[in-house]
Amino acid sequence: MSEKRSEISQLGEFGLIDRISTKFNPQNPSSIKGIGDDAAVIETGGDCVLLSTDMLVEDIHFDLSYMPIQHLGYKAVAVNISDIAAMNGKPEQITVSLALSNRFSIEAIDALYEGIKAACENYKVDLVGGDTTSSVSGLIISITAVGRVKKEKIAYRSGAMTGDIICVTGDLGAAFIGLQVLEREKQVFLANPQMQPNIERYDYMVKRLLKPEARTDIVFELQELGVTPTSMIDVSDGLASELFHISKNSGTGVRIYEDKIPIDNRTYETAVEFGLDPITCALNGGEDYELLFTIPQADFEKIKNHQDIHSIGYVHEKKAENVLITKNGNVVHLKAQGWDHFN
Ligand code: ADP
Ligand code: MG
């Protein structure tokens, strides 16, 4: 070992993952897709198996002073199911691993598992194992999700083709605004514990943050409509960051239109109230867990009347030229921000 010490912040999260992935090449032909997508793809002879893991760490990913612990359980499952959905797969099993300190009571862990159970019932997945260990103080929850998909239906980040239409589900930016609301209320409460939080007006955004849903419904509906996305990713880090993943992995560029980005009115108004630009919140805020995907133009007719699928732009051949056309017709280059845990 050399004495040299380099900071992880120089690489960022994605740089670190790239660095790890260059050191490992799959040795088994059954490892069809390893590091680098929403889930790994494993060949089994019949359908392919999808495998995805996400870890949530107290005070990095959640704050129990405003996150009810049941919701944390639900969300920890939903974010993993979302990665299976993002491969166009059907989730079937999860494992749950916990690191706990004596700060947590049996009642708290019961509540955590109530949320996990509600998510298992909602997404029709089975909890089939996990691991439990102790931690010095905080709670760490790591979930692995297993899913299934037919090989020809897999939607990788790398399949976008020139001319494809870019679609996104639901609406964006709400979870980020929900976080701003809760952070503000927390500061108000810390300054004056007598103050009762007044967040009913913000219910929609707060719920989007605390209890997100994985869009397994969209995977099912696309199947019913006979549409297989050419590429797909879930929006966990913000629209801009996810567009960069698709563009980079597909060797293309993307062009999206500001006036097509779906933002709920409540999100829009609250962003303005907080002095934030709603479009920036949609582009760079995280944790919406909507699906971003591309489809061939020939499939547009099939989805164009779907209430919850919005076409926001198209894929073009100029590699890495990722632009936003503003309402005034200006061309703005997108920046891949996303969350950086190492700064
Ligand atoms: P997502 O946001 O969809 O959960 P991530 O950005 O966390 O995706 O991960 C991207 C890819 O990198 C995935 O294939 C994931 O399995 C892989 N990955 C992340 N962290 C590590 C790690 N520490 N070692 C190996 N692979 C990793
Ligand atoms: Mg993902």
User: What does the alpha-carbon distance between residue 109 and residue 340 come to, in Å, rounded to a whole number?
Assistant: 29
Query: Tokens standing for 237?
Result: 């880090």
Q: What is the DSSP string of 51-107?
A: EEEEEEEBTTTB-TTTS-HHHHHHHHHHHHHHHHHTTT-EEEEEEEEEEE-TTS-HH
What is the pLDDT at residue 340? Answer: 45
What is the pLDDT at residue 192? Answer: 83
What is the pLDDT at residue 338? Answer: 47
H helices within the chain, ranges in order?
12-22, 69-85, 106-123, 174-191, 203-210, 216-225, 239-250, 265-273, 278-284, 300-303
Question: Which residues of the chain fall short of a pLDDT of 70?
Answer: 1-2, 337-343
CA of 288 to the centre of ligand 1 (A): 18
89-138 confidence digits (pLDDT tens): 999 999 999 999 999 999 999 999 999 999 999 999 999 999 999 999 89
CA of 35 to the centre of ligand 1 (A): 6
Which residue type is seen at 177? I
Nearest C-alpha neighbor of 280 from the set 221, 324, 247: 324
What is the pLDDT at residue 2? Answer: 61
236 lines ligand 1 (CB under 6 A): yes
Ligand number with the minimum distance to the CA of 215? 2
What is the pLDDT at residue 339? Answer: 44
CA of 44 to the centre of ligand 2 (A): 22
Nearest C-alpha neighbor of 260 from the set 217, 314, 319, 202: 314
The closest-lying atom of ligand 1 relative to the alpha carbon of residue 34 is 14
List the beta bridge partners of residue 56.
141
Ligand number with the minimum distance to the CA of 340? 1
